[in-house]
Amino acid sequence: AQSVAQPEDQVNVAEGNPLTVKCTYSVSGNPYLFWYVQYPNRGLQFLLKYITGDNLVKGSYGFEAEFNKSQTSFHLKKPSALVSDSALYFCAVRDRGGATNKLIFGTGTLLAVQP
Amino acid sequence: DTGVSQDPRHKITKRGQNVTFRCDPISEHNRLYWYRQTLGQGPEFLTYFQNEAQLEKSRLLSDRFSAERPKGSFSTLEIQRTEQGDSAMYLCASSFPGEVADGYTFGSGTRLTVV
């Protein structure tokens, strides 16, 4: 079964510092990986995805993610955090077991950026 | 068409009552998904429609839950005889067809509170 794990419930970082939100995956075959962000009382917003190709994926709002096949990781990164980046971040993997393209989400990591 | 719309945004109901939620996807998206998100958890897949056909249902979707997508446009999710455990955010998402899963577009969700 496909799954993703987000080992940190919360990440705290000072504004202007680099941030990393961790995600590891367990899939059979090549993974399709995604990051989403959720602001309070809102739906999820797509940040970026890895399908194939370059291991460094660039996405919205200055975020990027590095796909590492040997470590089965897909960590989300940003060189300089903003207070407005404070939100709940979800890693997801596409389920390869059927034709639905449904996504399987991790439990989320709350990012808190202190001014 | 500015995105995925969900109605209502909030619903408070007494245990045992029936509730119905509506989702209007982006018009050119033929794939529609329902997810449920409880506090501290990532979204969990409930069901999937391709056009008007319901092609997959999660085991989370008990007999009290039913979803429809008449004419392949909007969708409704009905919960009969609500229980306190049904309290959650119900998210709808839609996407383009295709081999590769693009990022979904999520609605803002319907927050259900069963008292």
Instruction: Give tens-digit pLDDT for A53-87.
Output: 889 999 999 999 999 999 999 999 999 999 999 99
Instruction: Give tens-digit pLDDT for A3-41.
Output: 999 999 999 999 999 999 999 999 888 889 999 999 987
User: Which of B31, B56, B100 shows the shortest C-beta gap to A98?
Assistant: B56
Do the Cβ atoms of A43 and B91 come within 8 Å?
A: yes
Q: Which residues of B touch A (CB under 8 A)?
A: 4, 6, 31, 33, 40-45, 48, 50, 55-56, 91, 93, 95, 100-109, 111
For residue A97, what is the nearest residue in chain B, using CA coordinates?
A: B56
CA distances in angstroms from A58 to A38, A54, B4, B76, B115, listed in the order given = 18, 10, 25, 35, 44
- pLDDT for residue A29: 82
Residue B31 has pLDDT above 70, yes or no: yes
Mean pLDDT (chain B) is 91
Please give the torsion angle defined by the CA atoms of residues B57, B65, B38 and B31, in that order, rounded to the nearest 10 degrees.
Answer: 40
- The CA-based angle B5-B31-B38, given to 5 degrees, is 60
User: Which of B4, B41, B104 shows the shortest C-beta gap to A107?
Assistant: B41
Instruction: Give tens-digit pLDDT for B56-93.
Output: 999 888 899 999 999 889 999 999 999 999 999 999 99
- pLDDT for residue B72: 85
CB contact A35 to B (< 8 Å)? no
Do the Cβ atoms of B42 and A49 come within 8 Å?
A: no
- pLDDT for residue A42: 79
3-state DSSP helix/strand/coil percent for chain A, to nearest 5? 5, 50, 45
